[in-house]
Structure 1
Amino acid sequence: MMENKEQLLEKWHRGSGIMHISHLITASRHQRFHRIVGTFSSSLSAIVATSIFVAALEDSSQMALYYTASGLSLLAAELSAANSILNFPKSAEAHQRAGSMFQGLRRKLK
């Protein structure tokens, strides 16, 4: 009977270690996604603003530039919305907290 309890505790210890590490990895990944999407969105917005001013200053024969700027503007708006809706920082914080809880459980089981 003692052997079964020890095996169970060892199994829980390994499982909590896996959960601890996986939550920390996921938290790190969500933080990275937030930075990438935010940087890309900001860069696109700057490019669009510059393109629109250039198109306005030049003659109206450069409609391709205008359409490209419009498409990039829509993409920038979608990325900003996605970054807000998906809320990567909050998700990363939740995974960080869960990882810390599993780390505490691991210590108790040891």
Structure 2
Amino acid sequence: MGKYTCGLDAAIAVMGGKWKGLILFALQDGPVRFGELRRAVPGISERMLILQLREMEASGLVHCEVYHQVPPKVEYSLTGFGHSLNTAMAPLGEWGEEHMERIEALP
């Protein structure tokens, strides 16, 4: 038997935590520089963003392009794997939007 018991288990493992979904959403329209990405994900610290991006790059969700110039330029973008996860998460995001008031009211 494999590492995961079902597809949802595997998907949640690659998503891990609250930040990765927000980062995926912020990268959906194309390459983004680090500073833009930090502004697009409110509440995330620089350290946490770096950590999450490294994990997402290691899992194949995100590509990091380093331009060797002065000043240095780094852009992050979704891979095909990352785009496919974003597509799969879209209905869950719609469900969350539809039920946000009820979810916010939970104790």
TM class, shorter-length: under 0.3
Q: TM-score, normalised by structure 2?
A: 0.28
| Higher radius of gyration, 1 or 2 | 1
Higher relative contact order, chain-length normalized (CA < 8 Å, sep 6+): 1
More helix by share: 1
